[in-house]
Chains A and B, each alone.
Chain A
Amino acid sequence: MPEIIIDGKQIEVEDGLTLIQACEEAGVEIPRFCYHERLSIAGNCRMCLVEVVGMPKPMASCALGVNDLRRGPNGELPEIRTNTPTVKKAREGVMEFLLINHPLDCPICDQGGECDLQDQAMAFGIDSNRYAENKRAVEDKHIGPLIKTIMTRCIHCTRCVRFMTEIAGVEELGLIGRGENAEITTYLERGITSELSGNVIDLCPVGALTSKPFAFTARPWELRKTETIDVMDALGSNIRVDARGTEVMRILPRNNDAINEEWISDKSRFIWDGLKTQRLDRPYLRDENGKFRPASWDEALAVVAKRLRDTQADKIAAISGDLCAAEEVYALKMLLDRLGIKNRDCRSDGTKLSDQYGRAGYLFNSTIEGIEQADALLLIGCNPRHEAAVMNARIRQVWRHSDLQIGLIGEPVDLTYDYHYLGAGPETLEEVAKGANPFADILRRASHPMVIVGQGALTRADGAAVWSAVARLAAELGIIRPDWNGFNVLHTAAGRVGALDLGFLPVEGGLDRDGILAAAETGEVEVVYLLGADEFDPAPLAKAFVIYQGTHGDVGAQHADVILPGAAYTEKNGTYVNTEGRVQFANRAAFAPGQAREDWAIIRALSGVMEQPLPFDNETALRAAMITAFPHLGQQDEIAPSEATGLTALAKAGGRLDKAPFKQAHPDFYLTNPIARASRVMAQMSALKQEELKRENNDKEATGTDG
């Protein structure tokens, strides 16, 4: 490990570090624009110049490694100085050059207050400019509905280009022209189609790329910042919700190396306009003409209570939805227990996962960070690019930096990395399990093999058989080892693992989702309680008396007879368990609109009206009761260890496999939940993506551009 002296302080640093990282370890902050630790090194902004003793000129510390420095003639340690007049002069010079063409429009710039250039100009700049000529002006570019461009502000750091190319894996942004005329753009100003494009807004050190939906709405310092958890997919990405008053103004990522690093998907970031439209903000009852009429809470709860009391318990059913926090599922479960209702299910998309083989049966056991160790990966009926976009970027990173072998069984989609396409359906799965496919050898020989099965393979009628077949494959090929469990289920619903942990599943003799829907169609089930459940075709519920407790007037509310307005994920405190089984706590950033209430409180109130009061009066008591019953839900940011023994039984379960090919769980990334479907931005992105796909297909079919 090389030793160096930084500003007179001798430290020992790891091999392979750059000087800028070494300085950081020594507690010296170096200003920078183009350097970013998760991106490749460009070395073009020159802001990080330091003095290396013995070198005639200042050196860019981001591009020089500690191993590149040699000892002096008498064995002196290499020495770096960051506080000398030379360095100060160099920084001021670079800053002056950057500001030559940078407009002085900070008062109308959305980056104002969180701008690297602004901050560093304050710290390292000078107060005047010797440049009297005209400033450069650059045409703004259209790059889609998410990112607003004011290209005159661009300082050509190319962070955005490097991010899109390296992390997102979608080569759409580029730097055209040269020198003073260099410009960032997409090919012919087409919209960017990556699911991670919003991250370039955070990366941009100036106000060249800003959030289009957030434009001119608020200043960063007037926003109330709440650290919470994202629910757009089952990763539980860490986010910060910025709100003003009752309104969510924007969503930003928080760093969590175990889950999302510092990225979030566009759906997580730009969903917030969906929190304001199509909202259920007061209770409604369906009147005799089939129209909804507003009602008071008392009236609505009385109708629900009467209906529940007057119906036999076996003719009542409940389905919980994808975005539910554990607390409300637990509260509903307690209420159902008291009423003796056995028909209940949390698997609103019809997945065949259950808790009967232990937690390891439905968790992402290798953990997201574990992907970094993997050297062979088999994706089954799974499109991680749509189902867990941030995790897909991590798979791509591992693929880029190692010889990770990836196989895919399912729809051959563009995942931003190369993979062996093995086949479309269960037949290929069995072939690999038997070792008849060459990819089986790759998995068997790997030191850390992984299989990831997606909901596309598990929501089918033969989902249980597929689930078992994947476990069998894992067992046959030795993917489950004492020190490594490579069996992974990728969930798409943020609330699913929590609800499975709580066992919100049919009690013995009760009906599951498919059973409930079928029985509701025939009239055997008369009352259905939907707790934010939207991800199925609601047609079978037409006859039944439907109580919909949720946030948006979406699919689930279509056939509702009573609507109880609930709180969206930014409007309540709640526990979420991500696909790895990691327990995380989401904090309330704003209050629910109108008369909408937090979901646990609605269930508690209903239990009161039914004279079956649940034993808690506030959120804390509810959570305490839940943690007493399920202790692992109290361990925040932890993954409770799960025994892999159940997987042996799962592998033996068997079942008949259909021949139909696996389909994607979410063909459209942008419209996967009620909030997203209410969002105008998501609708625009969905349309843009369709257009791009059409163009790509046209390009593929020989249209005269063919060679």
Chain B
Amino acid sequence: MSVRRLDKNQPESFQFTPETEAWTVELLKKYPDDKKASAVIPLLWRVQEDCGGWLPEPALRAVAKRLEMAQIRVLEVATFYTMFNLSPVGKYYVQLCGTTPCMLRGAEDLAAVCKEVIGPQNTVTEDGLFSWVEVECLGACANAPMVQINKYYYEDLTVESFRKLLQDLKDGKEITPGPQNGRQGSCPEGGPTTLHAYCKPGGAA
């Protein structure tokens, strides 16, 4: 983690989309009238989605105004949580898990692929398609190494499968979330084995 600052290039203005506004009205029903600030994290998250994966400064002000809270309070939240991006990200935002289990299973090789295919961390490729960042544990250690691209996890990666994944995205092909080595969920590799010993075909023991 490093010091987090708002991006130098900011749009002039920001407006909630009608859908987000309607969604916000529903969201605020969960909280008492004088506790609108409670909605700050969900609303920032929604706004980040609307803005293509990052939070422009005018959006922070708009959220502050919508929730009747001080602008500095919104900035505090936005800078505290690393899941809020303060600079633009690629259309495909790759979060590479670099924590111990993934690292032991080859996350560093995946990082090298990112550097080669996408470029340095936190920079968007010229075509606007990719940016990547190394993050702390995403909680999918059983399928290490893994990355998160936008909302989904892509697990059990190898250098080759990860490279292919990125190429497919570049080519505009559909990619399937989950393990990339044919494994189902986090079942043992090569099919279920553990229960074979006493789980007779045709019925449970």
Contacts and interface: CB of A to CB of B under 8 A. Distances in A.
Interface of A: 171-181, 183, 185-188, 699, 703-707
10 residue pairs, one from A and one from B, having the closest CB atoms: A704-B13, A171-B70, A174-B72, A176-B79, A187-B71, A187-B72, A174-B76, A705-B62, A707-B16, A177-B79
Given A178-B1, A180-B1, 11 more contacts: A171-B72, A173-B72, A174-B70, A177-B80, A186-B72, A187-B71, A188-B57, A703-B13, A705-B13, A705-B65, A706-B62
B62 A707 contact: yes
A181 B65 contact: no
26 contacts: A171-B70, A172-B72, A174-B70, A176-B72, A176-B76, A176-B79, A176-B80, A177-B4, A177-B80, A178-B79, A180-B1, A181-B2, A181-B3, A186-B72, A187-B70, A187-B71, A703-B13, A704-B14, A704-B58, A705-B62, A705-B65, A706-B15, A706-B65, A707-B15, A707-B65, A707-B66
A177 B76 CA distance: 7
A179 B3 CA distance: 10
B75 interface: yes
A181 B15 CA distance: 30
A174 B16 contact: no
Interface residues of B, number: 27
Contact of B12 (A177, A183, A704): A704
A164 to B, nearest CB: 9
B61 interface: yes
Contacts of A186: 72
Interface string B57-98: 110011001100111110110011000000000000000000
B21 interface: yes
Contacts of B15: 704-707
A175 B79 CA distance: 9
Given A703-B13, A705-B61, A181 B72 contact: no
Nearest to B71: A187
A707 B25 CA distance: 11
A172 B64 CA distance: 13
Contacts of B4: 176-177, 181
B186 to A, nearest CB: 31
Contacts of A699: 61, 65
A180 B61 CA distance: 26
A174 B76 CA distance: 7
Interface in B5-52: 6, 12-16, 21, 24
Contacts of A705: 13-15, 58, 61-62, 65
A706 B24 CA distance: 14
A704 B61 CA distance: 11
A178 B80 contact: yes
Interface of B: 1-4, 6, 12-16, 21, 24, 57-58, 61-62, 65-66, 69-73, 75-76, 79-80
A553 to B, nearest CB: 41
B13 A174 contact: no
Contacts of A183: 3
A172 B70 CA distance: 7
Contacts of A180: 1
A703 B6 CA distance: 21
A707 B72 contact: no
Nearest to B4: A177
Contacts of B13: 703-705
A173 B65 CA distance: 17
A418 to B, nearest CB: 10
A179 B80 CA distance: 9
Nearest to B59: A705
A177 B3 contact: yes
A661 B151 CA distance: 58
Contacts of B6: 188
B80 to A, nearest CB: 5
B1 A175 contact: no
Contacts of A706: 15, 62, 65
A171 B69 CA distance: 9
Nearest to B21: A707
Contacts of B72: 171-174, 176, 185-187
Contacts of B62: 705-707
B76 A175 contact: yes
Contacts of A178: 1, 79-80
A6 to B, nearest CB: 37
Contacts of B79: 176-178
Nearest to B20: A707
Nearest to B11: A704
A504 B57 CA distance: 58
B17 to A, nearest CB: 10
A56 to B, nearest CB: 29
B63 to A, nearest CB: 9
Nearest to B62: A705
Nearest to A165: B70
Contacts of A174: 70, 72-73, 75-76
B87 to A, nearest CB: 15
A417 to B, nearest CB: 13
Contacts of B16: 707
A187 B75 contact: yes
A223 B76 CA distance: 39
A707 B58 CA distance: 12
B19 to A, nearest CB: 12
A489 B194 CA distance: 86
A176 B75 contact: yes
Nearest to B57: A188
A704 B80 CA distance: 26
A707 B73 CA distance: 19
A186 B71 CA distance: 9
A103 B21 CA distance: 47
Contacts of B14: 704-705
A180 B4 CA distance: 11
A181 B1 contact: yes
A42 to B, nearest CB: 14
A188 B1 CA distance: 21
A21 to B, nearest CB: 29
A177 to B, nearest CB: 5
Nearest to A179: B1
Nearest to B69: A171
Most buried by B among A173, A179, A706: A706
Contacts of A172: 70, 72
Contacts of B70: 171-172, 174, 187
Nearest to B15: A704
Contacts of A181: 1-4
A176 B71 CA distance: 12
Contacts of B2: 181
A656 to B, nearest CB: 42
B56 to A, nearest CB: 11
Contacts of A188: 6, 57
Nearest to A703: B13
A704 B15 CA distance: 6
B55 to A, nearest CB: 13
A419 B142 CA distance: 57
A176 B86 CA distance: 13
A162 to B, nearest CB: 13
A95 B2 CA distance: 24
